[in-house]
Amino acid sequence: MHLRRVTARKFTCLAVAATVVSVGAGAPSPHAAAPPGKAPVAVGYGGAVSSVDADASAAGIDVLRKGGNAVDAAVATAAALGVTEPYSAGIGGGGFFVYYDAASHRVHTIDGRETAPHSADSSLFLENGKPLAFADAVTSGLSVGTPGTAATWDSALDAWGSKSLKTVLKPAERIARHGFTVDSTFRSQTEANQARFADFPATAQLFLPGGQPPAVGSTLKNPDLARTYEELGRRGIDDLYRGDLGRDIVRTVRKPDLAPGSTRNVRPGDLTAGDLRAYRALYREPTKVAYRGLDVYGMPPSSSGGTTVGEALNILERTDLSKASEAQYLHHYIEASRIAFADRGRWVGDPAFESVPTEGLLSQRFADARACLIKDDAVLTSPLAPGDPRHPADCASAGRAAPTTYEGENTTHLTVADKWGNVVAYTLTIEQTGGSGMAVPGRGFLLNNELTDFSFAPADPAVHDPNLPGPGKRPRSSISPTIVLMDGRPALALGSPGGATIITTVLQTLIGHLDRGLPLEDAIAAPRASQRNAATTELEPALYNSPLRGQLEALGHAFTLNPEIGAATGVQRLPDGRWLAAAEPVRRGGGSAMVVHPVGQR
């Protein structure tokens, strides 16, 4: 308890710290030059928005300046990201929304995850008894789940917003109509998808003007999406779930429109109007763990984010990471991640279909039983067998090990706070960069490939897999929007894109800030490692090329190079009442942090 009290006091000091603390050799500067129009850090009053895109952050700030609250601004920012980050987010996808209500001091969540068609079963991605190649499954109607984003916006605004959907969609509608400036990240993402985009006339018309990716510095307009947003604002989300827009989505999934001469085998899906009518975004109780005297809230299943981040924090709770060497800190973080991912793979799935022991996974007793596996001078072997949170036993396993399945890495996250102290952490996605590759003709947005987050087949036939497809089932996600409270009030909120690396990005950012003493913007910028119950741990170049790698290899760790892991954004309430907004300085082209009334940049 002494350590937890000390850390809570230290947190208050960290919130006003202005010094830069290194975290490993070669750490990128958190004050590296941001792209034009972007600043990775902003401090001020009246509320804050942090996202990957300057136009999107500005849309949220505009709503806050006009009297909207954090929920209103979050929806406005998300809608704008559907224009400027269409390969990561949009109304063709889904996401997870975590909200702190300042009036009640409570945290709420919305599960806006996509669902499988009601005709789906465990053989959804099997052909002739064998799993489809991943790329074939992605670019198909089979991969498209019932979109949940519009329902999430409607549910959030209905429960906690102060503005109408029509009002908060207006900034995004204007961006879509007048256009946004193409940057190098957008251009490179388009180039990476050029071959499959070209196979779909509606997609090519949107994103391949003249048959080529748009030039850096050019203006890209999306009048179809502007009209779609205008219709959603005027008609409401029933237009998607029961109306003309929904019929267009179903038609696109069931009869993919291929360009003449295309040889791509695009398998149709079985999404129906009934699947759209049946869809509901779900209010769920958040996950909660105590860490260093703070309360950490996250997203419950169907996401694995809250349980996996929470379990890893509980495992690390008994270790004083603030006094550990850099190598020992990373060693314990890597091993806690390995263990938490082993348990995630065995136990977490859609709670409507699986008996998920959420309470057990988040118990300190279970974490302590798993933490005893970690040794200061040795490394666990992956894939590691899971434990049993229902019957915790020290250093015991509860079955056979199974590797972590792949998840696409392109998603987007936004974090918002308002002048009343309400906070939103919201991660939304269409899964792969460019989703399924299929745009809805005349509607201006891409459809998700979220169902490829299901296991195509059990990794080990002898091990129960809670993430196989099923009728109306939500695929397991790693999305981890997180809000941290101190004494019932928001201390910080954050999240990240990155598939399964979302969990490790959020975890490492939290402990970098809370344990290692990094200001939030430095913890976001610090070089990352990601262990997901695999034989090797992924390292970003600044760690891979540092002496720390050799020190960790001497303990038995094995590493692979990953050029870029995650792209976090966050907000933090400073003791003097100001908000600090922080985003990535470099990753994925850098992010955009803004406040309503700036009082200087750090």
Q: Which residues are catalytic?
A: 411
The torsion angles phi and psi of 98, rounded to 5 degrees, stand at: -120, 130
Residues 6+ apart with CB under 8 A from 341: 308, 404, 500, 503, 531, 532, 533
Q: How far is the C-alpha of 344 from the C-alpha of 395, rounded, in Å? A: 17
What does the chain come to in residues?
602
Q: SS3 letters for 119-161? A: CCCCCCCEECCEECCHHHHHCCHHHCCECCHHHHHHHHHHHHC
**Residue 30, both tokens:** 């958190």
Strand partners, 49: 416, 594
DSSP symbols for 434-483: TTTS-BPTTT--BPP-GGGGS-SS-SSTTS--TTS--TTPPPPB----EE
In the numeric block, the tokens 């850098």 are attached to 590
Q: What share of the chain is helix, strand, coil (3-state, %, to 5)?
A: 35, 15, 45
Element of type H or E holding 498: none
Cβ atoms within 10 Å, residue 359:
12
Q: How far is the C-alpha of 396 from the C-alpha of 453, rounded, in Å? A: 29
**Residue 347, both tokens:** 């136990």
Minimal CA–CA distance to 279: which of 451, 435, 147? 147
Element of type H or E holding 544: helix 541-544
3-state SS assignment for residue 266: coil
- For residue 56, CA distances in Å to 61, 77, 83, 425, 592 come to 9, 5, 9, 15, 9
